[in-house]
Amino acid sequence: MLTFMDAQLTIRLPQNLLGLVKRAARQLQMKQADIVRMALRKFLSSAAPVASSSLFDQVADLVGCVDSGEVDLGSNHRKHLRTRMRRHGTRSA
């Protein structure tokens, strides 16, 4: 894996993680840096995308997935909340 690297990144690893990197490098007969690059590539290609979308986009699949039983809940939420609070013996605001 000989490629020209134009940037350098310095990281600090806990001893146990460094030990795992060293062991993998020995077993695969590769440089430690190559092991770290492979691990980063694998993680970044399978990880969830970075939150570059809006908050709505992140929860869009959840919108409308719960049925409240009230068809006009969005427009009359205060009325429904007061009714529910009275039913359960809670004082309304």
Contact of 68 with 74, CB cutoff 8 Å: no
What integer pLDDT is reported at residue 16 of this predicted model? 96
Per-residue model confidence as pLDDT tens for the chain (93 residues): 556 678 899 999 999 999 999 999 999 999 999 999 999 999 888 876 665 678 888 788 887 777 767 777 677 778 878 888 888 876 645
Candidate CATH numbers 1.10.1220, 1.10.10, 1.10.730, 1.10.3470; the one for domain 1-48:
1.10.1220
- Token pair recorded at residue 82: 């007061």
Contact of 68 with 57, CB cutoff 8 Å: no
What integer pLDDT is reported at residue 64 of this predicted model? 73
Residue ranges per structural domain of the chain? 1-48
First to last CA, the chain: 67
The pTM assigned to this predicted structure is 0.48
